[in-house]
Amino acid sequence: MKVMKFGGTSVGKPERMHQVAQLITKGNEPVITVLSALSGTTNALVEISSHLAEGNKEEARACIQKLEAHYQAFILSLLRQPNFLDKAKAIVAEHFEFLNIITRISFSDALNKDILAQGELMSTRLFSVYLEEQGIDHVLLPALEFMRIDANEEPNLPAIRTKLAALLQQHTDKKLFITQGYICKNARGEVDNLKRGGSDYTASLIAAAVNAGVCEIWTDIDGMHNNDPRVVNKTIAIEQLSFDEAAELAYFGAKILHPTCIWPAQQQNVPVKLLNTMEPSAKGTTIMHEAGSVGVKAIAAKDGIIAIKIRSSRMLLAYGFLRKVFEVFEKYKTSIDMITTSEVAVSVTIDQPTFLDEIIRELEPFGVVEIDKEQTIISIVGNQIAETKEVLKKLFDAIHDIPVRMVSYGGSRHNISLLVPSAYKKETLQLLNKGLFGLE
Ligand code: ADP
Ligand code: ASP
Ligand code: MG
């Protein structure tokens, strides 16, 4: 079994969907195809939801109308035969009727999740109609019947495995399965999702659940690049990464992968391939157990970071001090990304501001609390990086003019993290691209 996931841009135009159909029918191996919503759709659904949350029903209706027009035009180029086009029109009408009905009832978090699910539900149903028109035998597997998260919003892999196996068991004669990325059901049995970009996570969870031979993530770029191509001009694709390296890059901002999507594949040792739908013959990146080489592989940046410093000359070295600090973050379910300590202060970073005021209030009895917002974590990721000759020298030479707020190395052997004010992110990424990779 092989898993093939196609992101928003890979299904965002009718001709791309046609190409996806070709890619998934090439080999003889059974395939589970995971589709995202058409590009732009989830953003539009988020916008609709926030208008409704604010009580702006007219704005919400205008967004719904615009999105519906997009889908009506999309299916006209997707399909040729009138009976299949009628089928697709009925699907589009059904989903937009649902969205229009929702504007009339009172808004809730559960409703918000229902709205966000419409993108993947539509993309897969429309793709299925296209496959039918082409006479391609397949089964549409509803993700809501097997993708589960628990009360802590973490994927429940054993439940996913059991439910998916039972569904596949009903179709032992079939070789092609289509399912939705991103969407799932939560512990309360409501529709939920795996957070933005979550279709990658779906693919990796499915790959782990069925113990697939490979999990292919098809997107709009030829693999993981050495630096953020949205910020830096000259970047190059990386051939091979270890699971740990890929997980660090994803977590620290390489948008090509959902932040936590690597662990399921890693747990089952399923190789992950990052491939380009627009250039299917390009080599891409293979993520596997072995790192392949030592030294720096790539740099990623994660914005929206808040640094919290607690200064306390009296208590810092006291037994149990750090535990008390960590308990405050635990109480507010806020995870810490970076941590550095000195004799008089401890600094940590968080990316979740929801309970910042409460956290500050509870930390204040321990010492003087200082907050720096709008910070960016720059992560330099590779295999045994600090042991690799010259890396630290090149790194610090490259950024000698940048006001670095924190430095962290040693948590893993794959990552050196720097915290810089977000205003310096672009410059830092460019300087490191030159200093560490010789690319300008
Ligand atoms: P999809 O819709 O297929 O899930 P995404 O937009 O989520 O695609 O991810 C692909 C994008 O990730 C690329 O177009 C690129 O701009 C961005 N990206 C950010 N950092 C990296 C990186 N280090 N390597 C490759 N792409 C990256
Ligand atoms: N459609 C969802 C999003 O845009 C999930 C995904 O594309 O991975 O976040
Ligand atoms: Mg994505």
Q: Is residue 279 part of a domain?
A: no
8 lines ligand 2 (CB under 6 A): yes
Q: Is residue 246 part of a domain?
A: no
For the beta carbon of residue 346, count every other beta carbon within 10 angstroms: 19
Q: Is residue 326 part of a domain?
A: yes
419 lines ligand 1 (CB under 6 A): no
| Residues 214 and 106 placed together within one structural domain of the fold | yes
Q: What's the token pair of residue 163?
A: 């439910």
Domain harbouring 168, CATH code: 3.40.1160.10
Residues present in the chain in total: 440
Percent of the chain scored above 70 by pLDDT? 99
Q: What is the pLDDT of residue 148?
A: 98
Q: Which of 163, 198, 220 is the last residue of a domain?
A: 220
| Residues 214 and 324 placed together within one structural domain of the fold | no
The ligand minimizing its distance to the Cα of 193 is 2
Distance 343 CA to ligand 2 centre (A): 44
119 lines ligand 2 (CB under 6 A): yes
Percent of the chain scored above 90 by pLDDT? 91
| Residues 199 and 317 placed together within one structural domain of the fold | no
Distance 97 CA to ligand 3 centre (A): 28
Q: What's the token pair of residue 243?
A: 């699971």
- Tell which atom from ligand 1 comes closest to the C-alpha of 225: 24
Q: What's the token pair of residue 44?
A: 């539009």
Average pLDDT rounded to a whole number, residues 411-433 = 94
180 lines ligand 2 (CB under 6 A): no
164 lines ligand 1 (CB under 6 A): no
Q: Is residue 317 part of a domain?
A: yes
Q: What is the pLDDT of residue 167?
A: 98
| Residues 179 and 321 placed together within one structural domain of the fold | no
Q: Which of 168, 198, 220 is the last residue of a domain?
A: 220
Per DSSP (E only), the strands in 36-175 are 139-141
Per DSSP (E only), the strands in 1-66 are 2-6, 31-35
Domain harbouring 342, CATH code: 3.30.2130.10
Nearest to 222 by CA among 380, 437, 10, 31: 10
CA contacts within 13 A on the Cβ side of 153: 9
| pLDDT reading at 413 higher than 90 | no
| Residues 170 and 309 placed together within one structural domain of the fold | no
CA 365, chain centre distance (Å): 37
181 lines ligand 2 (CB under 6 A): yes
Q: Is residue 29 part of a domain?
A: yes
CA contacts within 13 A on the Cβ side of 106: 0
| Residues 317 and 426 placed together within one structural domain of the fold | yes
| Residues 145 and 56 placed together within one structural domain of the fold | yes
| Residues 165 and 54 placed together within one structural domain of the fold | yes
Read off the pLDDT of residues 146-195 as tens digits, 9 standing for 90 and up: 999 999 999 999 999 999 999 999 999 999 999 999 999 999 999 999 99
CB 309 within 8 A of CB 375: no
Top mutation candidate among 6, 120, 179, 199 for ligand 2, by most atoms within 8 Å of CB: 199
| Residues 211 and 307 placed together within one structural domain of the fold | no
Read off the pLDDT of residues 101-125 as tens digits, 9 standing for 90 and up: 999 999 999 999 999 999 999 999 9
416 lines ligand 1 (CB under 6 A): no
| pLDDT reading at 336 higher than 80 | yes
Q: Which of 172, 195, 220 is the last residue of a domain?
A: 220
Distance 221 CA to ligand 1 centre (A): 7
Distance 194 CA to ligand 2 centre (A): 9
| pLDDT reading at 343 higher than 80 | no
| Residues 165 and 73 placed together within one structural domain of the fold | yes
| pLDDT reading at 224 higher than 70 | yes
Q: What's the token pair of residue 285?
A: 């990146």
Average pLDDT rounded to a whole number, residues 229-242 = 97
Average pLDDT rounded to a whole number, residues 17-29 = 97
Top mutation candidate among 196, 258, 260, 277 for ligand 2, by most atoms within 8 Å of CB: 196
Q: What is the DSSP letter of 113?
A: H
| Residues 316 and 426 placed together within one structural domain of the fold | yes
Strand, coil or helix: 403: coil
| pLDDT reading at 61 higher than 90 | yes
197 lines ligand 1 (CB under 6 A): yes
Distance 204 CA to ligand 1 centre (A): 17
Please tell me the distance from the alpha carbon of residue 79 to that of residue 72, in angstroms, as a whole number: 11
Instruction: Indicate the pLDDT class of residue 342, thresholds 50, 70 and 90.
Output: confident
Please tell me the distance from the alpha carbon of residue 203 to that of residue 217, in angstroms, as a whole number: 8
**From residue 55, how far is each of 47, 51, 61, 331, 361 by CA, in Å?**
12, 6, 11, 32, 32
Buried b (16+ CB within 10 A) or exposed e, 192-226: bbbeebbbbbbbbbbbbbbebebbbbbbbbbbbbb
122 lines ligand 1 (CB under 6 A): no
Q: Is residue 342 part of a domain?
A: yes
202 lines ligand 2 (CB under 6 A): no
Top mutation candidate among 36, 191, 219, 255 for ligand 2, by most atoms within 8 Å of CB: 36
State how many domains the chain has: 2
| Residues 180 and 305 placed together within one structural domain of the fold | no
10 lines ligand 1 (CB under 6 A): yes
Burial of 173 (0-12, 13-18, 19+ CB in 10 A): exposed
CA 8, chain centre distance (Å): 12
Nearest to 206 by CA among 4, 416, 418: 4
Strand, coil or helix: 131: helix
Please tell me the distance from the alpha carbon of residue 294 to that of residue 297, in angstroms, as a whole number: 8
Instruction: Indicate the pLDDT class of residue 238, thresholds 50, 70 and 90.
Output: very high
Average pLDDT, the chain: 95
| pLDDT reading at 130 higher than 90 | yes
CB 223 within 8 A of CB 283: yes
Q: Is residue 225 part of a domain?
A: no
Q: Is residue 260 part of a domain?
A: no
Instruction: Indicate the pLDDT class of residue 410, thresholds 50, 70 and 90.
Output: confident
Domain that holds residue 25: 2-220
